[in-house]
Amino acid sequence: MDDQSVTSSAVVMGAGSEAQNPEALLEQALLAQWERRHREAETLYQQALAMSPAFLSGRVSYAILLAELGRPGPAEAELARALEIDPALVAAQLAEARRQEPGNEANLSLCGLLELQCKNWALAQQWLDLALHCNPDNACVLTWKAQVEAVQGRLDDSESLL
């Protein structure tokens, strides 16, 4: 078993008193995500959210991870759950994530998704275009941009994106 597996097992099993607290799990998940240990980060987010389903910053961060992993459906579902808790705070957290990492395509794409869900088509298009500029092959962004095109009646453009 490698060091990462040992660390992951200890965290997943709840070793240590910190692992019993959703905020500590979020910190560990953010570190794992930053270090590109995506499976571990996903497990930690899931544990934190199981302990505290209304943990808004955990939901937003988990949505960002899912977008980074190219999983548009689950990312969209997490963002929708976060929006049910506090839409204004979700927007503020995404703005802060963008400020910290202005070129992060996952942050840009989730800003586009947020505007998509708020039916702000022009803003959604702008954010998604910025995310596509970072990575033209991002499956999440292409899926969400196709939705924006479809709701605006541009079905041919939507189809070509899909």
Distance, CA of 29 to CA of 41 (rounded, Å)? 4
Amino acid at 133: H
Query: 156: how many CB neighbours lie within 10 A of its CB?
Result: 9
* Per-residue pLDDT, 2: 40
Residue 143's Cα: distance from chain center in Å? 15
Distance, CA of 102 to CA of 114 (rounded, Å)? 17
Report mean pLDDT in 10-residue bins for the chain, 162 residues: 41 50 94 95 97 94 91 91 92 89 87 89 92 89 91 89 84
3-state secondary structure the chain: CCHHHHHHHHHHCCCCHHHHCHHHHHHHHHHHHHCCCHHHHHHHHHHHHHHCCCCHHHHHHHHHHHHHCCCHHHHHHHHHHHHHHCHHHHHHHHHHHHHHCCCCHHHHHHHHHHHHHCCCHHHHHHHHHHHHHHCCCCHHHHHHHHHHHHHCCCHHHHHHHC
* Residue 40: φ, ψ to 5°: -65, -45
CATH architecture for segment(s) 3-161? Alpha Horseshoe (1.25)
pTM given for the model: 0.76
Domain boundaries along the sequence of the chain: 3-161
